[in-house]
């Protein structure tokens, strides 16, 4: 099973609070986000994704979104903040916001290597040779 599919709360951990009542600067490196940033972000992303919670058939691949697991979202976000890979690739809060907003419109976009989540996927998996 792909690591992407195994992580149900990860879509929450790739959103960020910019605009729409959020408090994080889109130019803030994800590696610099604080626990407070992640708490706010996860709350925002839960609201953004609540209408697409559940399983989605993405060309025969099941994509699960569980936007209500706030504790897991916060924990995964804090791990990303402490990640050398995330720091080195320069992932920004705005990159994650774009990805979460796209998933609210189309949950399958997360699996598209050329979609709005491509920057995140490349950052997270590029150094490891891709998801697997």
Show the domain range for 101.
3-125
Give a yes or no: residue 132 inside a domain.
Answer: no
Say whether pLDDT at 7 is over 80: no
Distance CA 96, CA 117 (A): 7
Backbone dihedral angles phi then psi of residue 89, each to the nearest 5 degrees: -85, -15
**61 has which bridge partners?**
58
Give a yes or no: residue 130 inside a domain.
Answer: no
Percentage of the chain lying above the pLDDT 90 cut: 33
* Confidence band for 107, pLDDT divided at 50, 70 and 90: very high
- What is the domain count for the chain? 1
Give a yes or no: residue 16 inside a domain.
Answer: yes
């Amino acid at each position: 099973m792909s690591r992407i599919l195994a992580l149900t709360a990860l879509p929450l951990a790739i959103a960020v609070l910019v605009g729409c009542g959020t408090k994080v600067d889109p130019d803030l490196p994800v590696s610099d986000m604080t626990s407070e940033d992640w708490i706010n972000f996860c709350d925002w992303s839960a609201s953004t994704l609540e209408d697409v919670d559940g399983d989605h058939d993405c060309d025969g691949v099941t994509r699960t979104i569980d936007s209500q697991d706030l504790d897991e979202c916060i924990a995964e976000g804090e791990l990303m903040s402490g990640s050398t890979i995330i720091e080195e690739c320069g992932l920004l809060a705005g990159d994650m916001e774009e990805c979460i907003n796209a998933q609210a419109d189309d949950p399958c976009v997360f699996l598209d290597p050329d979609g709005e989540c491509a920057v995140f996927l490349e950052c997270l998996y590029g150094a490891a040779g891709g998801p697997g």
